[in-house]
Structure formats: structure tokens, C-alpha cells
Structure 1
Amino acid sequence: MDLAIKPVLLGTDLLVYLLIAMIVMFLLSLKKNPQNRDRWRQVFSTRTGMVTFVIILSYISIALLDSLHFRKQMEPVAGQETTEVYYSNTINSVLDVMLGEMGENTERTYSAPLSLKSWVNENVIAEDGSITRAQPALVHAGQHLESPDDKVADIIWQSLVGAAKGLALAAVLIVLHKQMIARGERATGIRSTLPWRSAWITLAIVLGLLGLLIHLGNLYHVLGTDQAGNDTLYDSLKGIRTAVLIGTLTTLIAMPIAIVFGISAGYFKGWVDDVVQYIYTTLSSIPGLLLIAASVLMFQVWIDNNPQFFEVALEKADAKFLALCFILGITSWATLCRLLRAETLKISQLDYVEAAHAFGIGHAQILKRHILPNLSHIIMITFVLDFSGMVLAEAVLSYIGVGIDPTMASWGNMINLARAELAREPMVWWNLSGAFFLMFTLVLSANLFSDLVRDAFDPKTRVEAAKA
């Protein structure tokens, strides 16, 4: 029996699944490490920690839904008798299914948010055959209305319907979560003191807003359309996966290099330290944008010369995106490497490390038990801080034309396309609004969350708090 869909596994999809698996393994490891568990409890004991975590988790969930890809089965041609099944060259995701027809409702060109007419004047043929310049009606906006005068009342009603759907889903999730908390409290006999109410309120707001936007977005263009007629809200939501991946994958690629080189240089010293310093000094001396641009262009040439490795266009864009993450990762580890090297130099001279050497304990055990645990706060803080930095870096790279492939949805591409639109008269502002709002929310949440992580894991901060 042939399936109506064909699952597609992109390279970045594998990394998303690996990221989720690492998060699960990290959560399970907290059971064996009560000290780290208490530190994370300190992060989530504040309302800010709960609110920002729910927002970040919402972005990750959307990215995961957009990483479950498949190709639809094509309908057989009328009159053609064949047993072979053909699939569309367009790759869809579960997020596309949840967004409905939003991505397929394209117009001819620009249209303003929640408008029923095109933003650009075109030649319109009147009933008497005369040609006039006017704004034609949109094809996929407000078609269910009996009269254009009903638009305002319909938008209010449909917004309430969409928000109600999102709030209903939030209510189900909150009830299930409350039951899980109650079951855990009965099992341990300890009442949870974490501010779950803040998390629940944030979840209700996020799902209510998503429900409103998705429901209304299938009836109107909530954030208008771009020059090609694509729905701006759809492109903004699809850009979440790109931002989350480039923020996490790039950081995960850079961190192992920085950790190995930084700790090795600070612990073994001598020629190892000289080699590591030479490598990151040489890397830092090369202008970052030029190095990244040259590497991306070289990989683009390889993609163009080897089309046999890519079955559909999205696989090419995904390969370029994966290469960009790798390039950003191997060019952004120098700063963390310096920090770890300096901290390792200091820790390796402490009494308990010298005592471990005197007792004949091996280097591997000393690094594992004494060096790495004392560097965990630096690694954790840097990871959260670099996440937001890489999200912004993607926007800058796409702005100068060496970032994500134009066929792949990203906030950087939207900002790049909007720079000419801001100079128009009247100004086309809405194509920038969706990318700006979602990027601002994600980066702000990541920065606020990183501040709490720093306060919980940084020993200096804890000592100062104890003295105060």
C-alpha cells in the first residue's frame, strides 16, 4: 500500500532531533546531580525565568513542528494508467499543515495588513470596457464576506474565535500539567514552590495569540503580503525554525572546539598552549565577515557544480544553511576559548588540583572531576548569550547577501528585502514588522534568561549575594 505522503529527512532535521535528544538527556542527568538541579531551580524560581522559558520553549516547539518534513503524493493524470506513484517536488512540514492554506494564499503583489484590496494600482477593465487605474480586490482575503462593509465586525469576531481555540488548547495543557504536578507532590510529599501560575498565564497568552493569528491568517493577510504576493505572517512564522537552528547549532558546533582547545591550553601549558594561542590568534586576525562570505560562496559553487546530490530545491537550501551553521561555528569559538584557557590556568594552580597531582591521579580524572565542573558556569552562560548573538548574526549576513538561501524562509531575508521597501513612498513597513517582532521577542527572552543563568551558576555572583 502506497502512502499518500513520503517522509523527507533533511540534514538540519537530524540536528533538530539530536538537539531534542540532548535536552532530554540533560534533564535526566539533573536527577544525578542535585547541585545543578538546585541551581536550575533557582533560575525557575523567579517569574521572569518561567515566562522567558515558556517563550523560548514555544519557539523550539514551532521549530520542531517545522522540521517534520514530507512530500505529498501527486494526483495521477486523467486518462493515464500507471501503478507508479509520483510525489510533489514541494517539501511541506507539519507546521504547514497547522497553518492551513496561509502559505498557498498568494496575491499578485503588495497588500497592506488586513486589507481587501491590493496596495498597488493596476489597470482595471470596467463593465463598459474602459480601462482605469485602481486597486483590484485581493484573491484570498475576505472572500467569505457578503459585503466589504462587514470587514471590521468580521475581523473582531474571527479574532475571538481564533483566540478561543488557542485558549482551549492552553486550558487542556494546563490541566494536564497541574495533574502531573499534583501526582509528583503526592509521590514526594513536597509541595512545589515554583511560580507555575506565571508559566500558565504566559502559555495561555502565547497559544491564544497563535490561535488568533492562524485562524485569522487563513481569512485575511494579517501582516499583508510582500512584492511577490507571499503572506508576511507565514514567512515570519517559518523563519522561527531558521533562527532557532542557527542559534543553537552554531553554538553547539563552536563549544566543543572551544572547550577542548581552551582547557588543553590552560591545563597542559607549554607547546600545547602555544599552538592553541597561535590558532585562535590567526583566526581572530582574519575579518570575520570576509571569512564567512568566502566560505559560503565556495560552498555555493560546490552546490551548483553537483546538482546530482539534491533531489529538490529545498535540499540545496538546507545544505547551504547547514554549511553556514558549520562555518559560523568554526569561526566563533575563539572568545570562549580564551575565557576557558585563562580560567583553567587559574584553577590548575589551586591546592586541591596540586594535591591530586601529588597523589598520582591521572590527567583525565583531574580534568573530569576538578577542572570541567568549575568551568560549567562559563560554558552555560556563554551558550545562552551566544544563542541570541547568532540569531542576530544571521540577519546581518542575509542583509549583506551571504546568509540563508533566498528560497528558505528567514528573518534576515525578510529584513534584506524590506530595506528597499522602507524607501518607497508611501512606505511598505509591514514586511519588516513580523520579522522584527519575533526576533525581538526571542532575543529579549534569551538575554533575560541568560541573566538568570549567570546569577545561578556564576560563583562570584553567589558569593556577592551571600555577603549582601
Structure 2
Amino acid sequence: MVSITPTPRTSPLLQALRGHWAAANGIQRVAIVLGLSLIALAALAPLIAPFDPVDQSLISRLRPPIGFARYKSGFYLGTDELGRDVLSRCLYGLRLTLSLALAGACIGLLTGASLGLTAGIRRGWVENLVMAAVDIQIAVPFTLIALLILAIFGSSLQVMVLVLGVYGWEQYARIVRAEVRKIAEMPFIEAARAAGASRGHIARNHILPNIVSPLVVQFTLSVSNIVILESTLSFLGLGVQPPTATLGSMVGVGRDYMPTAPWIVIAPAAMILLVTFAVQILGDWMRDRADVRLRER
């Protein structure tokens, strides 16, 4: 009697991940590893940060990173003007900056995509009203809108999420509305209508799968732009207020110490650069994997 050893089965999720990894090129693999590493650093910041990000030690202020004279043991990236550990503040700043960027981008995506989808499907006065709001949003510089909101409601985290969520929704609305109008004229949509499908069914099963690709691209652009916007507002002193650390606020405070302590700016600025690089490359990769038109070729 011959015994047959069963071949271990690989889970569908693992197979899908292997397929996506195999389809990625070299720079996309680097961006994937970098993006996952940044997310892990942000998620594990309370566990791996060597010090509390707000603890001050004036006798240890402006100490350089490891490898330089006057380096103080344990402060691997040096200390800032108040003696706070730069590495710990970068980790916590990365955590908060990524959270604000993702929250703002998700709010903008949901708001803009919903309005664009409604405008593209219903047409008429609904479409005119949505596009009028889009034109107004585009006509007014967003920096002025952000400054007005922050001046009225303050600079709390909730207000920052609101400000960042308002940013970019009009781009989603324009993209979705244009894609919906184009797809709505295609034969398979006409066939679905002739078969008695409702607007909701058509939108959910026929339109949304075909607009995922441009939405992914716009989402990644929004995340990168929101990181820069949050950094700009914090740089100007209008973002999250001290002692809470964000990458932008660290760059803003450290600019006065560039000639004598450049590490205060270099570390958070490098974090911002890595985040935007990883998000942009990952956006292109996700666009290629999510586009049903590319998969059908």
C-alpha cells in the first residue's frame, strides 16, 4: 500500500501577495519595503522610541547625533533646542503626520467621490450644483481657506483633520464625475439599464470597479500633498501646537538652528521625503494592480 503525502496548500491571500510581489519592479519593491517599514515605525513608536518625545533636559540641548563630538549616549539622532530626543520626536511625529494625512485623504475621497458619483449619475441641477461648488473650491486658494478655518476654530487635532479633509475633495469630484459620464455611455451600461438594473446597482457593480484606478492615483497624490500641507501649516506655526511633535513642526522650529544644529531639521525632513517617495511609487503600483482594464489585457 503506497501512502501519499498531501501537498501543503498555500492560502489564497499568500498566493495573491506573492503574485503582486512578483509583478513589481525593483523600485516598486523598494517602495513597498520602505512603506511597510515606515508604517511599522509609526505603529510601534511608543514601544521603540528611546525617550518620551516631550521630556526636556536643558543640560543636554543641541547635542549632535552619534559619531560626532559631544554626542550623548542614547540620543542617536541628537537633541533639539530643549534637549528633547530627536529620534523619539521623529517617530511620534511620523505617527501623527501619517495619521493626519490618511484621515484627511480618506475624508476627501469619500466626500469628493460621493459627490462626483451623484453628479455623474443624476445629471441636471444636481450636477450643476456640485460642479459650481467644485469651481468655487478651485477658485479660492486652499491656503486661505485653511488659515480662515484655523483662525476661527483653533489648531486642535480635530480641526486639523477637518482642514486636511476639506483639501482636495474637488479633484475627486471632477475625476469621478468625468469617468462616470464616460462610462455611462458604454454598451454594457446600456445593457444593464435595459435589463432593469437600478442606478445603485449600476453604480456599485459596473461603474465603481472601472474608476478605482484614477481614484487610487488621486488618493496617493492627496496623501503626499496633505503631508506637505500639514508640514507647511506646522512650519508656519498654524498646525498642531507644541509640545506635540509632527514632522512639519520639527522642521519649522529647527530652521532657526540650521547653521549650528542642522540635524534638528535633516531628520524630520528626510522622513517627509521618504514618506512622499514611498506613497507616490506605491500609488503607481496599486494603480496598475487595481485597473481592471489593464488586467484584461
Match of 2:158, SS state, is: helix
Shift of 1:220: 3.6
The residue that corresponds to 2:32 in the other structure is: 53
The residue that corresponds to 1:250 in the other structure is: 104
Distance change >3 Å, CA 407–CA 101, structure 1 → 2 = closer
Match of 2:116 among 262, 267, 271: 262
What is the rounded CA distance, in whole Å, between the counterparts of 2:119 and 2:56 in structure 1?
56
What number of residue pairs does the alignment pair up? 282
Distance change >3 Å, CA 323–CA 105, structure 1 → 2 = closer
Matched, 1:370 2:206: yes
CA radius of gyration, larger in = 1
Instruction: State how 1:136-175 maps to structure 2 within 5 Å.
Output: 141=72
- Return the letter of the residue paired with 1:259: A
Shift of 1:116: 5.9
- The answer (yes or no) to whether the contact 1:48–1:449 under 8 Å persists in 2 is no
- The answer (yes or no) to whether the contact 2:51–2:88 under 8 Å persists in 1 is no
- Return the letter of the residue paired with 1:437: A
What is the rounded CA distance, in whole Å, between the counterparts of 1:263 and 1:102 in structure 2?
46
- The answer (yes or no) to whether the contact 1:106–1:231 under 8 Å persists in 2 is no
- The answer (yes or no) to whether the contact 2:50–2:88 under 8 Å persists in 1 is no
**Quick one: higher RCO (CA 8 Å, sep 6+), 1 or 2?**
2
Greater Cα offset, 347-356 or 102-111: 102-111
Shift of 1:105: 6.9
- Return the letter of the residue paired with 1:267: I
Offset from partner CA, 1:78-126 (integer Å, 9 cap, x none): xxxxxxxxxxxxxxxx33xx33446547343322223564xxxxxxxxx
The residue that corresponds to 1:439 in the other structure is: 272
- The answer (yes or no) to whether the contact 2:49–2:87 under 8 Å persists in 1 is no
Offset from partner CA, 1:366-410 (integer Å, 9 cap, x none): 111111111111222222232222112111111122112122111
Instruction: State how 1:53-452 maps to structure 2 within 5 Å.
Output: 53-66=32-45, 94-95=46-47, 98-101=48-51, 103=53, 104=55, 106-108=57-59, 109-114=61-66, 117=70, 141=72, 219-300=73-154, 320-422=156-258, 424=259, 427-452=260-285
Offset from partner CA, 1:226-261 (integer Å, 9 cap, x none): 211112222112111112112211111111111111
What is the rounded CA distance, in whole Å, between the counterparts of 1:373 and 1:220 in structure 2?
51
- The answer (yes or no) to whether the contact 2:101–2:164 under 8 Å persists in 1 is no
What is the rounded CA distance, in whole Å, between the counterparts of 1:228 and 1:50 in structure 2?
39
RMSD over aligned Cα, in angstroms? Answer: 2.7
Which stretches in structure 1 are left out of the alignment for 5+ residues?
Answer: 1-27, 67-93, 118-137, 142-218, 301-316
Shift of 1:43: 5.8
- The answer (yes or no) to whether the contact 2:234–2:248 under 8 Å persists in 1 is yes
Shift of 1:338: 0.4
- The answer (yes or no) to whether the contact 2:116–2:175 under 8 Å persists in 1 is yes
Matched, 1:455 2:288: yes
**More strand per residue: 1 or 2?**
1
Match of 2:207, SS state, is: helix
Distance change >3 Å, CA 276–CA 441, structure 1 → 2 = same
- The answer (yes or no) to whether the contact 2:210–2:291 under 8 Å persists in 1 is no
What is the rounded CA distance, in whole Å, between the counterparts of 1:43 and 1:456 in structure 2?
11
Distance change >3 Å, CA 461–CA 400, structure 1 → 2 = farther
